[in-house]
Amino acid sequence: MTQKKYFPIIISSPSGGGKSTVCDEILARRNDVAYSISYTTRKPRKNETDGVDYYFISREKFNQMLKQDVFAEWAKVHGHLYGTSKKVVENVLNKNKHVILDIDTKGARQLMSAYPQSLSIFLFPPSMKELENRLRKRETDNEADIQLRLKNAKQEFADATDYDVLLVNDDLDRLVEKILEIIDNKSLK
């Protein structure tokens, strides 16, 4: 009998591309996948909870953790610092669960180096117009933020060439089914 393998699952998309929704849906359907909670210096959005969505910390604390080499990846995105703790990732894998990471392309590249056994998935929006609609519907960003996020999408699309799997986020249910299939195939290989 083949031993099942557990690995980091890296999910990236441009801002508003729906990576958080996709991760939530995967977590809701599967007991053998757990979320890697990141550290961030940005302020919580409405409906975000400390210790659930992120560990919200000060910039001073973040810099201190950086010096202690706590992070498997970290990045500055839209002016805020984000980091993934190595201990958080390894704790999940040691419990025989896949660890899912919802991160930007800069952080993803560092994670791919730190964990070469990762499965990396990039989600494209169905169109830039749809991406813009989603950002506006979210009502969390001002106009300048939205324009910055749309502009950044160009570089993020280019970064997508680093990923194992490319998918378009048009039909959530079909997308999640497809991702679960890809996870299971890799897990049993």
Interface residues with its own copies (CB under 8 A)?
124-129, 153-155, 157-158, 160-161, 163-168
CB of 36 to its own copies, least distance (A): 23
CB of 16 to its own copies, least distance (A): 13
Which of 37/165 has CB closer to its own copies? 165
Which of 63/155 has CB closer to its own copies? 155
CB of 11 to its own copies, least distance (A): 15
The Cα 51–Cα 158 span in angstroms is 32
The Cα 181–Cα 115 span in angstroms is 21
Residue 159's φ and ψ, nearest 5 degrees, are -65, -20
CB of 131 to its own copies, least distance (A): 9
CB 110 within 8 Å of CB 103: no
Which of 37/128 has CB closer to its own copies? 128
Which of 84/169 has CB closer to its own copies? 169
The contacts of residue 37 (CB under 8 Å, 6+ apart) are 51, 52, 53, 54, 55, 88
Which of 53/162 has CB closer to its own copies? 162
DSSP string covering 50-119, please? BTTTEEE--HHHHHHHHHTT-EEEEEEETTEEEEEEHHHHHHHHHTT-EEEEE--HHHHHHHHHH-TT-E
CB of 172 to its own copies, least distance (A): 15
